[in-house]
Structure 1
Amino acid sequence: MSDDDRTRWDAKYADRDLPWPDALGPAAVFTAFRHEFPTAGHAVDVACGQGTAAVWLARRGLQVRGFDVSPIAIEQARALAAGSGVGDRCRFEVVDLDGGLPDGPPADVIYCARFRDRRLDAPMLERLTPGGLLAVTALSQVGSVAGRFRAAPGELREAFAGLEVIAAGEGQGLAWLLARRRIDGAG
Structure 2
Amino acid sequence: MSEGDRTRWDRTYADRGIPTTDAIGVDAVFAAHRDAFPAAGHAIDVACGQGAGAIWLARRGLRVHGFDISAVAITQARALAERSGVGGRCRFDVVDLDDGLPGGPPADVIYSARFRDRRLDEPMMGRLAPGGLLALSALSQVGGSAGRFRAAPGELCAAFPGLEVIAAGEGQGLAWLLARRRGNEVPSG
* TM-score, with structure 1 as normaliser: 0.98
Question: Which residue of structure 2 lines up, in the alignment, with residue 176 of structure 1?
Answer: 176
Cα root mean square deviation, aligned: 0.7
The residue identity in structure 1 corresponding to 2:14 is A
**In structure 2, C-alpha distance between the alignment counterparts of 1:63 and 1:185, rounded to whole Å:** 24
Segments of 5+ residues of structure 2 without an aligned counterpart are none
Give the 5 Å matches for 1:19-168: 19-168=19-168
Name the SS of the counterpart of 2:185 in structure 1: coil
Contact 1:142 1:170 in 2 (8 A): yes
Runs of 4+ in 1 over 3 A off after TM superposition: none
Name the SS of the counterpart of 1:66 in structure 2: strand
% identity of equivalent residues? 74
Shift of 1:17: 2.5
Q: Deviations over 1:75-129 (max 9, x none)?
A: 0000011111111110100000000000000000000111111000000000000
Name the SS of the counterpart of 1:7 in structure 2: helix
Name the SS of the counterpart of 2:16 in structure 1: coil
**In structure 1, C-alpha distance between the alignment counterparts of 2:12 and 2:81, rounded to whole Å:** 20
Name the SS of the counterpart of 1:15 in structure 2: helix
Contact 1:129 1:185 in 2 (8 A): no
**In structure 1, C-alpha distance between the alignment counterparts of 2:16 and 2:81, rounded to whole Å:** 16
